[in-house]
Amino acid sequence: MPTNSQVPLKILTFGAGAIGTYIGGSLALQGNQVVFLERPGVAQAIRARGMKLALGEKTHTIPDPHVVGSLEEALENGPFEIGIFALKSYHTKTMLEDLFPHKEKIPPLLCLQNGVENEVTLGRGLGHDRIIPGTVTSAIGRIEAGNIRLEKNRGMGIAGGYPLSQRLLRACNQANLNAERYAQPAAMKWSKLLTNLLANASSAILDMSPAEIFAHPGLHRLEVRQLREALAVMRAQNLRPVNLPGTPVKLLAWGVRFLPPRLSQPLLQKAVGSGRGGKMPSFHIDLHSGRGRSEVDYLNGAVVRFGEKLGVPTPVNQALNETLLGLTKGEMPIETFARQPEKLVSLVG
């Protein structure tokens, strides 16, 4: 008789975007029962064409994915043992409002979102012991909803110490997701935040690629300063950077803190190049798509908020956050800083 850890999981995946499709789809390919929750029109389209995961040299197809268009319909297929929560951070509060009336039916959530505040927000509404922090470092390209390509296979992190942690780790590794256990969830999440900050806000504001950002001496210094601020906020919380799957964050942090610009510049160029290749960062994609939303306040803004509580100055993160929020909300023309690096450098001071 199989042990409980060998029995397939019953999973509710929130969204069929890049991460949701990759994690949920990979688990489904290994025989786990996965229900995907999407907007009604998107759910119908995915059901019609199926789900595709290009993983390495092989493309896997799920011809009849279980995708539903409402939370009520999803919960009719429960009870679920775990939820995969990988929505954009700016959707968290709205989704929580939808979940709260059904909180008794909502399973523990593996929170794979960027940022360091989503777990607290979800925990306040659903119970802190039912939110499992996690992170994904693999690079996933979204072709369309339910159709993704694995661009760089690094792995994912899952916080230890929760009743489901070990079973999740085993299931994810059976699905070739390269999952690792982390004893300090906050260190894991803050370490991921450091990598998310790299040439993200500045690229969006300036409409320049990460390679161009780090080729400019003034912008390189600006990037180093924003990372040093984030590291100072981490130290004020007694948190140290940890390496993430396929991502040497400790080396990045050491280089930012101690190396002179002539040595740290190639280190950061390599980190950004290996992380994103030629793809533009998420903040740039969001700003230039005209969505009117950005995760910058959940990354640079989080550094500012924690800095204020802990007495750590964060002027660079504050300037980047306020500037990109202003561009995103249409408070200033999107071309205000376009390809004008000196203008941004002088603004930050």
Bridge partners (DSSP) of residue 83 are 12, 109
Q: What is the mean pLDDT of residues 302-328?
A: 98
Residue/partner pairs of 162-165 with CB below 8 Å, 24 or more apart:
162/108, 162/129, 162/132, 163/108, 164/81, 164/82, 164/108, 164/132, 165/132
So what's the pLDDT on residue 321? Answer: 98
Structure-token match 């995961």, residue found: 53
Q: Tens of pLDDT along 191-239?
A: 999 999 999 999 999 999 998 998 899 999 999 999 999 999 999 999 9
Mutual angle of helices 296-310 and 217-236, in 10-degree steps:
50
Cα–Cα distance measured from residue 230 to residue 320, given in angstroms and rounded to the nearest whole number: 13
Q: Residue 246 pLDDT > 50, yes or no?
A: yes
Q: What is the mean pLDDT of residues 319-333?
A: 97
Q: Tens of pLDDT along 63-109?
A: 999 999 999 999 999 999 999 999 999 999 999 999 999 999 999 99
Confidence of residue 2 (pLDDT cuts 50, 70, 90): very low
Which range has the worst mean pLDDT, 199-208, 253-262, 294-303, 324-333? 253-262
Return the structure tokens found at 239.
């948190």
Q: Tens of pLDDT along 170-193?
A: 999 999 999 999 999 999 999 999
248: burial class by Cβ within 10 Å (0-12, 13-18, 19+)?
Answer: middle
Strand-strand pairing, 147-152 and 51-55:
parallel
Q: Indicate the average pLDDT of the chain.
A: 94
Cα–Cα distance measured from residue 64 to residue 42, given in angstroms and rounded to the nearest whole number: 14
The helix/strand/coil state of 341 is: helix
Q: Residue 5 pLDDT > 90, yes or no?
A: no
So what's the pLDDT on residue 266? Answer: 79
Q: Is residue 74 within 8 Å of residue 12, measured between CB atoms? A: yes
Cα–Cα distance measured from residue 221 to residue 239, given in angstroms and rounded to the nearest whole number: 24
List, in order of start, the domains of the chain with CATH numbers: 4-183 (3.40.50.720), 189-348 (1.10.1040.10)
So what's the pLDDT on residue 231? Answer: 98
Top pLDDT among 3 and 286 is at 286
Closest CA to 275 of 247, 313, 306, 307: 247
Q: Residue 133 pLDDT > 90, yes or no?
A: yes
Closest CA to 148 of 136, 131, 159: 136
Closest CA to 193 of 89, 305, 115: 115
Strand-strand pairing, 131-136 and 109-111:
parallel
So what's the pLDDT on residue 290? Answer: 84
Strand-strand pairing, 139-144 and 147-152:
antiparallel
Q: What is the mean pLDDT of residues 110-139?
A: 97
So what's the pLDDT on residue 1? Answer: 38
Q: What is the mean pLDDT of residues 143-164?
A: 96
So what's the pLDDT on residue 291? Answer: 83
Cα–Cα distance measured from residue 244 to residue 250, given in angstroms and rounded to the nearest whole number: 9
Q: How many CB atoms lie under 10 A from the CB of residue 318? A: 20
Q: Tens of pLDDT along 255-287?
A: 999 988 888 887 777 777 655 545 789 999 999
Percent of the chain with pLDDT over 90: 89
**Phi then psi for 332, rounded to 5 degrees?**
-145, 150
So what's the pLDDT on residue 341? Answer: 97
